[in-house]
Amino acid sequence: MYSKLQYISQGESATEQLNNIQQALDAGCDWIQLRFKHAKENELLDAAEKVKLLCKKQGATFIINDNVQLAKQIDADGVHLGLSDESPIVARNILGNKIIGGTANTFQDVLKRIEEKCDYLGLGPFRFTSTKEKLSPILGTEGYSKIISESKNKNIFIPIYAIGGIVLEDLPELMNTGIYGIAVSGIITNHSDKKLLIGQLNHQLHANT
């Protein structure tokens, strides 16, 4: 059973990354994706090893963004791959039964990711977000409804996470589209009361389950 709430880490330095992740874990997050794009190789390795220990202590799932070899090296729980990253098929050969998530923006992407045997999808973006460079076309609520409806018509029932600029008030309408959960970063990183926010998010995410 995957968590319905994924936290994608933020921070320009290893110290910021670790601080943000620790705070998210302390506030109740149990799924962490380490996204540390501009880190040097040794800095990323050191941060990943430390995050793995933090997640293990809290019983949280630990996913590495993009880097299959790093996920293998430190024995992370899995990896999340963007559309231009290494193939999930190659990743599966390297990681075996670890969790492999894939990014999607269209229904065609969903079909491709299914063929590649991804375990879950990050479908987005929901709206504009400054977190990610080279943003794909915005989906909005209608986009999710359409893609998930098409998926069900093809008997595709993979966990789909909405991602991209999501705030608490979006959840009732978003969950009605049939998404499994959400992947967020800034909303948690920048919140003054993370425990309160994560409680509110989880309440909404599990409201109809």
Tokens standing for 201? Answer: 């998010």
pLDDT per position as a tens digit, 112-142: 999 999 999 999 999 976 665 566 789 999 9
Please say if the pLDDT value at position 59 is more than 70.
yes
Share of the chain above pLDDT 70, in %: 96
Q: Would you place residue 61 in the very low, low, confident or very high pLDDT band (cuts 50, 70, 90)?
A: very high
Instruction: Report d(CA 17, CA 70) in Å as an integer.
Output: 17
User: Is residue 83 over pLDDT 80?
Assistant: yes
The β-bridge partners of 103 are: 122
For the beta carbon of residue 156, count every other beta carbon within 10 angstroms. 17
Q: Where are the domains of the chain?
A: 5-205
pLDDT tens sequence across 88-103 = 999 999 999 999 999 9
Beta carbons of 5 and 181 less than 8 angstroms apart:
yes
At the second CATH level, the architecture of 5-205 is: Alpha-Beta Barrel (3.20)
Q: What is the mean pLDDT of the chain?
A: 95
- In the block, tokens 């110290």 appear at 15
Q: How confident is the model at residue 128, as a pLDDT?
A: 77
Rounded-to-integer distance, Cα 45 and Cα 40, Å: 9
Which DSSP category does 27 fall into?
T
Comparing CA positions, the residue from 183, 167, 165, 152 lying closest to residue 82 is 183
